Chains A and B, each alone.
Chain A
Amino acid sequence: MAGSKREKRAGVKVKKAAGKTRSGKRRAGRRPGKAQAKGATGRRAGAGPRLAIIACTWHPLESIENAAREGYTYGPDILVLPVRCTGAVTVANILRLFAKGLEGVLVLGCKEGDCHYFNGSERCGEIIEETREILEWGGIAPERLGFTLISGSEGRNFEDALDAYMKDLKKTRGRRKRVA
């Protein structure tokens, strides 16, 4: 069933309309209503990974907002930090977020050629590489810093990016224990 596959996604919960699965349709419940919220079992508050998503306000933030309007909800411990352009994301600020005790940071930028300013997300890729090196020196799995370029047209782009990142993050969990 389409629904059950989605429920397995880590830290992500899709609310189903009560009693109706409407299998085959990707997004079942349009708005998270009372009945839907009741049906949402799974992890308790605070049990999911604490994450920060740094999102560029042009494409990625639009995708995130579209995802919400399409009825997609994600872990309660995931905070979205809008930035005007991912080109402005600095090594220091990413490290600060990790220092704050977050398990992961996911940076979402615009696709190549979509940057509102010319090449912000391309530049950001370089900053991310730099930061990952530093994280590795510090014994933090570099995969905990995610970086994906998405387009803003559909909420689905954000959902897919977050799901893929969650999978990567899960893999680092065992490694983190070995390092620590």
Chain B
Amino acid sequence: MADGPCGDERKAVKVGVVVCECGGEIKRSVDLAALEKGIAADPVVAGVFRINYPCSAKGLAAVGEAISKRGLSRMVIAGCSERLFGRLFREALSGFGIDPSFVGFANIRDGMAPGGAGGRKAGTAKALNLVRMAAASMAEALRVEVLEAGIKPLCLVLGGGVAGMAAAGAVATRGVKTVLVEKEKEPGGLLRSLNAVFPSYRRADEFIGAMLDEIAGDLVEMVTGAEVESVTGHVGNYEVTLTGGRKIEAGAIVVATGASVLSPDGLFGYGDNDIVVTQMEFEHMLEGDKQPGGKIVMIQCVGSRNPERPYCSRICCTASIKNTILLKERYPSAEVTILSRGFAEYAGDLDRARDMGVKIIRYTPERPPVVGGNSVEVFDTISGMETTIPCDLVVLAAPIVPSESTRALAAKLRLPTDEYGFLIEPQPKLRPGEFVPRGIYVAGSAHWPCTITEAVVQGYSAGSRAFDLINAGKVSKSAFVAGMEEDLCRGCSRCCEVCMHGAIEMVEAEDGMKRALHMPIQCTGCGVCVSVCPSGALSLKYATWRQVGSAIEAIV
């Protein structure tokens, strides 16, 4: 890497420069004749050609002719931006035998060259510098090959909640073997502690049963009571060891390990005051034969939307209203007051609950409700008055928080998490739920608090994308990635710590030292590892140390 092209490759280096006229556009700020002369004087450059519109069919033919005439092996296009015509030139020139990695660009058109204050003379000098830099860099460029790797035809789904079951179903119905790993004894996740689910008001166990029927069959293997012990490998070829020692070779991984509900210890007297319970506990109370309470106050946003946890947990409004409706259906005489800081819009049956006689009072975090022995005091922001509500049960809506097992898994798979501990993909807007290019997909509440409907949809989406990857049979990618010289690695592991794409792993070498192992198939080529490597072992294959160095030296 540090040497640049060597041997025959070095002998074959012949850099040609095409200076584009761009229909007179560039001439305005650059003296093209002087530029050509300057470039020709550069010892790195083997030939320079001025062509009007090399991006046209006619121009490309002229470029091809020049290449074959002079036997050029590398080209620099001095004209417009790489962003605009990079792909066109790379594709067209590969037809003339020039490898795409040997096509460089010097942007002397869009603002890079117009000299502004100095006029054409200064513009020409600047354009010359830009071309010299590109040519010097191209002379040291290395050939980069397209990378390929096979894929193990098995999908591993971590987490047997709704999202996980949906994902497993999505993969298995397309005919790919799936292993579903659940850490509890039974699948179902958070759903198992609910009574009925929104929006169908079906019983939760019925719902879990239906989902299990969907994945019943030979293609889905359920492993319960197990967690991930360790993970090695890369996209298409992961080796996952489960607790208990079982090893699974998987091509893709769906992470649906879910979340847990915050225990609101110390908030509104929870733990000390017997009449204060959480919504989860209230769900169980509704299961019983006895009426849970005559006068009930529900407090929303307990422990969320505060400085510590500024996010909205999204599902608590829906859950509280659902529970209210279930309660009122069975015990119409029950009085329910919901203290809210404003309902999330998808709160479902809010109107239905209102019609049933549920009172809703809006409070502010500045004047939170105060829970007493048998009443709740609250400042109603609408009426502007302090109100005391008598009650015999206070139900707290606690938020969804990342579970410990998700945190531990994130560390093992080296997945990035956000400031709260939820998994966050590198491109939440462009590629939601995907850890590109890792073959890892995320669904459900491990990612962000979500409703059951959303979890199912995310599970289907993650599963079908995992199937797409496995079905392709192989992964291939352009090799605009980092490269590694193992001899130079000192095993400091800084690169491993900073790589957010899991492309670097520390492995023990023969001499017992730990060395970094770089897996190009998973590398995105961002170069973060390169900037922290103290020994220069890591380098970007498309912009090696030598390339950047010689480009800087070429500035006159």
Q: List 5 A-B contacts (CB under 8 A).
A: A32-B114, A46-B118, A69-B110, A92-B545, A120-B526
- Whether the pair B528, A85 counts as a contact (CB closer than 8 A) is yes
The complex places the Cα of A119 from the Cα of B26 at a distance, in Å, of 36
Inter-chain contacts of A154 with B (CB < 8 A): none
Do B116 and A65 touch across chains, with their CB atoms under 8 A apart? no
Residues in A with CB closer than 8 Å to B107 are 65, 80, 82
Q: Which chain A residue shows the least CB distance to B528?
A: A87
Partner-contacting stretch, out of A70-78, A136-144, A163-171, A172-180: A70-78
B81 adjacent to chain A (CB < 8 Å) = yes
Binary contact track A24-52/B, C-beta < 8 Å → 1, others 0: 00000000111001001011111110001
Interface presence of A97 (CB below 8 A): yes
Q: Is B555 an interface residue (CB 8 A)?
A: yes
Within 8 A of B (CB), among A73-127: 73-85, 87-93, 96-97, 100, 115-120, 123-124, 127
Q: Say yes or no for B426: interface residue by CB 8 A criterion.
A: yes
In the complex, chain B residues whose CB is within 8 Å of the CB of A34: 28
Question: In the assembled complex, how far is the CB of residue A35 from the closest CB belonging to chain B, in whole angstroms?
Answer: 11
Q: With CB as the reference atom, state the residue of chain A lying closest to B555.
A: A100
B residues contacting A by CB (< 8 A) are 28-29, 81-83, 107, 109-112, 114-123, 125-126, 129-130, 133, 416, 426-427, 480, 498, 500-501, 524-528, 530-532, 540, 542-543, 545, 548-549, 551-553, 555
- Closest 6 A/B residue pairs (Cβ): A68-B111, A88-B527, A45-B118, A76-B122, A45-B122, A73-B116
Closest residue of chain B to A50 (Cβ to Cβ) is: B555
Establish whether residues B500 and A118, one from each chain, have CB atoms under 8 Å apart when the complex forms: yes
Known interface pairs A13-B116, A79-B129; A119-B480 also in contact (CB < 8 Å)? no
Residues of B within 8 A of A11 (CB): 117
Contact B125–A73 (Cβ < 8 Å): no
A150 close to B (CB within 8 Å): no
Known contacts A67-B111, A76-B122, A84-B480: A117-B528 contact under CB 8 Å: yes
Instruction: Check A33–B28 contact: CB distance below 8 A.
Output: yes
Which residues of chain A have C-beta atoms less than 8 A from B542's C-beta? Answer: 84
A149 an interface residue at 8 Å Cβ cutoff?
Answer: no
Which residue in chain B gives the minimum CB-CB distance to A101? B555
Q: Which residues of A contact B82 (CB under 8 A)?
A: 57, 82
User: With A40-B116, A62-B83, A75-B117 in contact, is A88–B125 under 8 Å at CB?
Assistant: no
Interchain Cβ contacts within 8 Å, total number: 160
Are B28 and A32 in contact, CB atoms less than 8 angstroms apart? yes
Task: From known contacts A61-B83, A120-B528, infer whether A76 and B116 are also in contact, taking CB-CB under 8 Å.
Answer: yes
B525 contacts A15, CB within 8 Å? no
Contact, CB under 8 Å: A44 / B500: no
B223 to chain A, nearest CB (A): 31
Contact B117 A123 (CB under 8 A): no
Q: Are A93 and B552 in contact (CB under 8 A)?
A: yes
Known contacts A69-B110, A88-B526, A96-B549; decide if A124 and B531 are in contact (CB<8 Å): yes
Q: Do A45 and B115 have beta carbons less than 8 Å apart?
A: yes
Beyond A62-B83, A79-B130, A87-B531, whether A118 also contacts B526 by CB under 8 A is yes
* Known A43-B118, A87-B526, A117-B526: A68·B112 in contact at CB below 8 Å: yes
CA distance A117 to B522 in the complex (A): 12
| A82 vs B551: C-alpha distance when bound (angstroms) | 12
Task: Report the interface size class on chain A.
Answer: 35 or more
Q: Is the CB of B117 within 8 A of A42?
A: yes
Is the beta-carbon distance between B121 and A45 smaller than 8 angstroms?
yes
Instruction: Choose among A67, A79, A115, A117 the residue with the greatest number of B CB atoms under 10 Å from its CB.
Output: A117
A17 at the interface (CB under 8 A from B): no
Instruction: Judge whether B133 and A81 touch: CB under 8 Å.
Output: yes
Q: Which of B109, B119, B548 contacts A37 (CB 8 A)?
A: B119
Answer whether residue A145 sits at the interface, using C-beta atoms and an 8 A cutoff.
no
Q: A73 near B552 (CB under 8 angstroms)?
A: no
Q: Are B115 and A73 in contact (CB under 8 A)?
A: yes
Chain A hits for B532, CB < 8 A: 123, 127
Q: How far is B523's CA from A84's CA once the two chains are assembled, in angstroms?
A: 14
- The reply to whether B548 and A93 contact each other, CB–CB distance below 8 Å, is yes
A25 to chain B, nearest CB (A): 19
Establish whether residues B501 and A89, one from each chain, have CB atoms under 8 Å apart when the complex forms: no
B525 x A77 contact (CB < 8 A): no
Which residues of the partner chain B approach A96 to less than 8 Å between Cβ atoms?
549, 552
Instruction: Collect the chain B residues with CB atoms within 8 Å of residue A127's CB.
Output: 531-532
Closest Cβ of chain A to B240, distance in Å, is 23
In the complex formed, the residue of A with least CB distance to B500 is: A118
Q: Is the CB of A75 within 8 A of B116?
A: yes
Residues of B within 8 A of A100 (CB): 552-553, 555
- The answer to whether B117 touches A13, judged by C-beta atoms less than 8 angstroms apart, is yes
Further 19 A-B residue pairs, CB within 8 A, beyond A37-B120, A77-B118, A118-B426: A32-B29, A43-B118, A45-B125, A46-B122, A48-B118, A73-B115, A79-B126, A80-B130, A82-B82, A88-B527, A89-B531, A90-B530, A91-B531, A92-B545, A93-B552, A116-B427, A118-B500, A119-B416, A123-B498
What CA separation (Å) do A11 and B118 show in the bound complex?
A: 10
How many Å from the CB of A13 to the closest CB on chain B? 4
**Which of B114, B115, B125, B525 is A84 in contact with, Cβ under 8 Å?**
B525
A83–B130 alpha-carbon span in the complex (Å): 14
Chain A residues with CB under 8 A of B123: 76
Asked if A88 and B110 make an inter-chain contact with CB atoms under 8 angstroms apart, the answer reads: no
Give the residue name and chain of the B residue nearest to A119 (CB). B500
B426 near A74: Cβ-Cβ < 8 Å? no
Using CB atoms, name the residue of chain A closest to B435: A118
Q: A32-B29, A62-B83, A79-B130 are in contact. Are A118 and B416 (CB under 8 A)?
A: yes
Contact A84 B531 (CB under 8 A): no
Identify the interface centre among B81, B129, B525: most chain A CB within 10 Å of its CB: B81
Shortest distance from the beta carbon of B309 to any chain A beta carbon, whole Å: 20
Q: Which residues in A have their C-beta under 8 angstroms from that of B545? A: 92
- Please, how many angstroms separate the alpha-carbon atoms of A120 and B540 in the complex? 14
* Known pairs A79-B555, A93-B552, A117-B528; A88 contacts B119 (CB<8 A): no
Contact B528 A119 (CB under 8 A): yes
Q: If the complex has contacts A76-B123, A93-B548, A118-B416, are A40 and B501 also in contact, measured as CB distance less than 8 A?
A: no
Q: List chain A residues, Cβ under 8 A from B501.
A: 117-118
Which one of A65, A74, A81 contacts B81 once the chains associate, using CB atoms below 8 Å?
A65
Contact yes or no, A48 B528, CB < 8 A: no
Whether B117 pairs with A88 at a CB distance below 8 angstroms is no
Nearest-Cβ distance from residue B105 to partner chain A, whole angstroms: 9
Chain A residues near B427 (CB-CB < 8 A): 116
